[in-house]
Amino acid sequence: MTYNAVVIGGGPGGYVAAIRIAQLGGKVALVEKDQLGGTCLNRGCIPTKSLIAAVDKLKGVEEAAAFGIAVNQPVVDFNKVQGRKEEVVEKLVSGIQFLLNKNKVDFFKGAAKIKAPGVVEVAGDGETKVLQCENMVIATGSSPALIKSLGYNGTSIITSEEALQLQEIPKSLLIIGAGVIGCEFAHIYGSLGTEITMVEAAPSILSLQDKDISRRMQTIFKKKKVTIKTNGCIKKITEVDGGIQAELENGERLTAEKALISIGRVLNTHNLGLSKAGVALGEKGQILVNDQMQTNVKGIYAIGDVVMKYQLAHVASAQGVIAAENIMGKEAVMDYRAVPSCVFTSPEIASVGMTEQQVKDKGLPVKTGKFNFMANGKALSMGEGDGFVKVVTHAETDRILGVHIIGPHASDLIAEATLAVQKGLTAKELAGVIHAHPTLAEALMEAAENVHGLSIHG
């Protein structure tokens, strides 16, 4: 049998691509050497959100007295917290398997290797199969980045993967890297009582966010007694009695029970047979693709982390759809104008489009509007008044170039902002849309009004 396509990698890019090819009438095979759902479902997005849901429940109990509800001191059963997380993951993995079966996608468990364009070898369960195909999609994702001097051992010096599997709450945790992953784990374990220290080489935490957002989040962390050391580089980490000791380049020494390495990710492009197939790679090892997700080799596509556009699950899924549609004869191109990103801290952070600084760096005239959740009735009713919405516009055309949110349910609110950026709405047009009251979304409307100084409540 010759497949219309073989998809290598069953994460949020790969399984979506496989299903869409099948929906369009193609015969498709999906190969995955580990668990369906990839890093996102098994070791990333979903398990962290399950743990965050648990600490959010804990926060609700701890703050219940402010709402007139008397409760006893809450007790965390961390084994049950972890058990529920595993149940959520297993349910979603089973759901993907159901979808593959429903759409008649052939699933092969094993390690895939490209033997030649149109030929994929799958080694698994003690046997090797050879799949013939007209096209293939590489969607093998990425893994946590490690630096040898940091001494990763999987027990006291760990990555996000081990941090998700801990059976006991550590008394103290040194987090190396204050990006999205580092900040989310600071929120999770800090909320559970762990003493958190974060070391970040950049001048600020969450350095890719709008400066106003990163500054506010840094202030919030400090209020929660999280120690943050920016402009700090760790020279080495060693094991000592009771945990680890980290030596910074300035000579300072830090101790903790465990160290979490969260300094980025490396691409899973090794041992795939890419060079033999003639697939071109970039300077950082990324697979080079055009806006139709095609590589330089006819019939070979690549999506997700391995192309290094955005290392986000929802971008991988969107790229998977584009690759699938091109494979099935429908011309489609990726559009990266409006890519939302979220950080699940407390409060949440979400952004889309350009930051104020990026607009300035491009030499464009910029105008911003901001609205604080402290002036939003729904937020105050929830006891979640910390944070704001910031709308960034082109000063002459009024077009919305970016929206940045720190506050309650920011990850949900960003959807409307993403649509506004995608469709090129102006601040005046967004402000003119009637928003239901009382809702958190009114903060977005008022921030848009404030671009012109016309917010009623701000």
Instruction: Give me the active site residues, please.
Output: 437
Instruction: Give the phi and the psi of residue 21 in degrees, each rounded to 5.
Output: -60, -45
Is 271 strand, coil or helix? coil
Question: What is the number of alpha carbons within 13 Å of residue 358 lying toward its C-beta?
Answer: 15
345 and 223 Cβ atoms separated by less than 8 Å: no
DSSP secondary structure, 177-239, as one string = --SHHHHHHHHHHHHTT-EEEEE-SSSSSSTTS-HHHHHHHHHHHHHTT-EEE-S--EEEEEE
Helix (H) or strand (E) holding 162: helix 160-163
Alpha carbon distance 252, 235 (integer Å):
10
Tokens in use for 386? 């910390």
Alpha carbon distance 207, 290 (integer Å):
28
How is the chain split among helix, strand and coil, in percent rounded to 5?
Answer: 35, 25, 40
Instruction: Give the phi and the psi of residue 124 in degrees, each rounded to 5.
Output: -170, 150
5 and 137 Cβ atoms separated by less than 8 Å: yes
DSSP secondary structure, 14-81, as one string = HHHHHHHHHHTT--EEEEESS-TTHHHHHHSHHHHHHHHHHHHHHHHHHTGGGGT---PPP---HHHH
